[in-house]
Amino acid sequence: MAADHHHPGRRPARSHRQAPPVLRVLLGDHQLSLVEALAEAIAAESDLEVVGTAARADDVLRVVGSRPVDVAVLGSDTGPADLASLGAALREVRPGLALIALADHEDIVALVRAVRAGFRGWVHKEAGVQELVDVVRAVPRGETRIPPVELTRVLDHLLEAGAAATRSGPLDELTSRELEVLRALSGGVTRQEVADELDISVNTVRTHMRRILAKLGVHTSLEAVVIARRAGFR
């Protein structure tokens, strides 16, 4: 058996792995019983913290304006303002806020408007709590989490509305790297997967996407993907 050499005064190396940051979540919906149930379930997650609940749009705005919030999960009926208007107002107060819609009905027009306003998550109220928790974690990472059926309908709606037809020309203005990023996203992968595929960081992917959106004259990644698919990207 080898001798165990002890060096006085030398301490064993310690791991400095940091715990993942806690995401601060706001829940807003007119069904208070649902909000309370979701708050209780989310509170059981070590990396999530419910920092506020609200039943109406003005309460949502007050909470976001008065305390740090990373993610807002909002029902489709929080008062006179629709989701798109509320989302736009919230992003003015807190530009980096991740927005998730909690829907109790299928309204493709409302979904398209919400996506344009910055919503990147769409969860049905009858979905399981774990599905909502997964979306709450994913959207702040830059992922879009919309059920496949609804996502397809959003893309179809944008195509039918002619959003892509009027903006297909600016693809010629994209750099080769921007085209690579857009082509990868058009294949349905996440930003992390794009970063891995192109051997770049996620922050670099985000930078490319900001430039792509500016050049295409659109506001969301989904609209850029529609334009790319119209141009033949898959």
Q: What is the mean pLDDT of residues 116-125?
A: 89
Q: What angle do CA 209, 116, 189 make, to 5 degrees?
A: 45
For residue 166, what are its two tokens?
């009027």
- CA 148 to CA 216: how far, in whole Å? 24
- CA 74 to CA 56: how far, in whole Å? 10
Last residue of a domain, one of 151, 183, 217: 151
Domain count, the chain: 2
- CA 185 to CA 211: how far, in whole Å? 14
Give me the CATH number covering residue 175: 1.10.10.10
pLDDT tens digit string along 14-59? 545 566 689 999 999 988 888 899 999 998 999 999 999 998 888 9
Q: Which residue range(s) make up the domain with 70?
A: 23-151
Please indicate, yes or no, whether residues 112 and 182 belong to a single structural domain of this protein. no
Residue 157 lies in a domain: no
Please indicate, yes or no, whether residues 198 and 99 belong to a single structural domain of this protein. no
Please indicate, yes or no, whether residues 66 and 168 belong to a single structural domain of this protein. no
pLDDT tens digit string along 194-223? 999 998 998 999 999 988 988 888 888 888
Residue 201 lies in a domain: yes
Give me the CATH number covering residue 43: 3.40.50.2300
pLDDT tens digit string along 159-175? 766 544 444 466 778 88
Please indicate, yes or no, whether residues 71 and 138 belong to a single structural domain of this protein. yes
- CA 180 to CA 96: how far, in whole Å? 26
Residue 12 lies in a domain: no
User: Is the pLDDT confidence value at 132 over 50?
Assistant: yes
Q: What is residue 230's predicted lDDT score, i.e. its pLDDT?
A: 78
